[in-house]
A = this chain, B = another copy of it.
Amino acid sequence: MLLTPFPEERLDPRVKRTRALIENTFNHLLEEKGFSAITVQDITSHAEINRATFYAHYADKFALFESILRARFRAEMDRRTLRTCTYDSHNLNALMETVCDFVALSASNCKGNDAQFEAIVEAQVRQQVQAILEHWAGQIWPEDPSFNKDRSTAATWAIYGLAQQWSQIKPQQRQPSSQFTKRVLPMALALLHAEPQTISQVG
Q: How far is the CB of A83 from chain B (nearest CB, A)?
A: 17
Name the B residues within 8 Å of A153 (CB-CB). Answer: 161-162, 165
What is the chain B residue whose CB lies nearest that of A147? B183
How long is the Cα–Cα vector from A70 to B200 in the complex, in angstroms?
33
Name which of A44-52, A73-81, A185-193 contacts chain B: A185-193
Q: Is the CB of B154 within 8 A of A187?
A: yes
Task: Tell me if A123 counts as interface (CB < 8 A to partner B).
Answer: yes
Q: How many chain A residues touch B (Cβ–Cβ < 8 Å)?
A: 34
Q: Is the CB of A160 within 8 A of B162?
A: no
Give the dominant DSSP class at A's interface: helix
Task: Tell me if A56 counts as interface (CB < 8 A to partner B).
Answer: no
For the complex formed by this chain, how many copies does it contain in all? 2
How long is the Cα–Cα vector from A123 to B161 in the complex, in angstroms?
12
Task: Tell me if A203 counts as interface (CB < 8 A to partner B).
Answer: yes
With A119-B123, A186-B196 already in contact, the answer to whether A161 and B154 are too (CB < 8 A) is yes
Q: Is the CB of B196 within 8 A of A183?
A: yes
Q: Which 3 A-B pairs have the closest CB atoms?
A: A157-B161, A119-B119, A186-B199
- Inter-chain pairs besides A157-B160, A186-B196, 5 sampled, C-beta below 8 Å: A89-B203, A154-B162, A154-B184, A187-B190, A187-B191
Can you list 25 A-B contacts with CB-CB less than 8 angstroms, sorted by A residue number?
Answer: A115-B119, A115-B123, A116-B119, A119-B119, A119-B122, A119-B123, A149-B165, A150-B162, A150-B165, A150-B183, A150-B187, A153-B165, A154-B187, A157-B158, A157-B160, A158-B158, A158-B161, A184-B196, A186-B199, A186-B201, A187-B190, A189-B201, A190-B199, A190-B200, A193-B202
